[in-house]
Amino acid sequence: MKKADFFKEKVIIITGSSSGIGRATSLALAQYGSKVVLASRTIEKLIPLEEQITSKGGQALAIKTDICSLVDINKMIKETILKWGRIDILIACAGQYFPDITSELDINKYQESMTLNFFGTLNSIKNTLPEMKRQRSGHIVIINSLDSKKGIVGDGPYVSAKAALDGFGDVLRQEMKPFNIKVTSIFPGRVNTPMIESIKVPLITKKIPPEKVVKAILKAIKGNKANVIVPSVFSFVTILNYLMPHFSDWAYRVLKIQGQHDN
């Protein structure tokens, strides 16, 4: 089946759609005829995006949403159901980079990162599930990070929250199978978005365009993939870190694959 046939008329919520990967995903899905719900905190960015989509004949609904607020999440779900009657796919993309450049275990940074990147993502998923269970269908896509597979020096708070999400995604996929709800986790390497704008990266981990991640997301949804690393060549990092962690530490050190310490 062609992408346009697969995604046409599907109701898809994308959190974090005001920028970067979420924005690029929203535009691509709207082009394929999906009904896209644009959810993030900055309504001033969502409204022009909604207009951009609808002016080209697409279908979009902007909803101001902070994923850390259950009130906002429930409103997002209610408004989606009111407008389009169902939720086919949730792409949980909202997230922020939390480094701990002091390496002194700044607990506040860890809590902030967990609140947003872990619990915020859980909020949006948990409250979408009753609707998907009622439908007895749905697909949850978690935008994780390659950093959850191999920690990066200086990025403790971010890496920890994403690693927690990795475990959660694995459990959720199995628990949701009886309800015919699919679960996919996407693990991008470094992507050229505002989130890591200030970080210089070595050539080996050069930033890929968000559109490359979008392509992987759409392919993973269509093929119901469990876990997808983008670019796929970095799959070896997972294996290497499991089998030879000291060697992979050394390789990251030598290649200067670090967090905000690069600055």
Ligand X SMILES: NC(=O)c1ccc[n+]([C@@H]2O[C@H](COP(=O)([O-])OP(=O)(O)OC[C@H]3O[C@@H](n4cnc5c(N)ncnc54)[C@H](OP(=O)(O)O)[C@@H]3O)[C@@H](O)[C@H]2O)c1
How many residues interact with ligand X (rule CB under 6 A)? 31
Does 259 engage in binding with ligand X (CB under 6 A)?
Answer: no
Give buried/exposed letters for 177-203 (b at 16+ CB in 10 A, else e): eeeebbbbbbbbbbbbbebbeebebee
Sign, Cα dihedral of 202, 208, 209, 214: negative
Nearer to ligand X (CB atom), residue 34 or residue 145: 145
Nearer to ligand X (CB atom), residue 195 or residue 251: 195
Strand order in the sheet with 35-40: 59-64, 35-40, 11-15, 89-92, 138-143, 181-188, 227-230
Three-state DSSP class for residue 62: strand
Does 145 engage in binding with ligand X (CB under 6 A)?
Answer: yes
Shortest distance, position 143 Cβ to ligand X, whole Å: 4
Instruction: Tell me which of 58, 120, 138, 151 binds ligand X, using CB under 6 A.
Output: 120
| Annotation marks residue 158 as catalytic | yes
For residues 81-110, which are near ligand X according to CB under 6 A?
Answer: 93-96
Rg (CA), the chain: 18
User: What is the C-alpha to C-alpha distance for residues 149 and 237, in angstroms, rounded to an integer?
Assistant: 8
One of 32, 97, 110, 158 is an active-site residue; which one? 158
Does 16 engage in binding with ligand X (CB under 6 A)?
Answer: yes
For residues 167-226, which are near ligand X according to CB under 6 A?
Answer: 188, 190-191, 193-196
CA-nearest of 15, 65, 64, 67 to 36 is 15
Residues at the site binding ligand X, with contacts judged by CB under 6 A: 15-22, 40-42, 45, 65-68, 93-96, 116, 120, 143, 145, 188, 190-191, 193-196
- Catalytic annotation, residues: 158
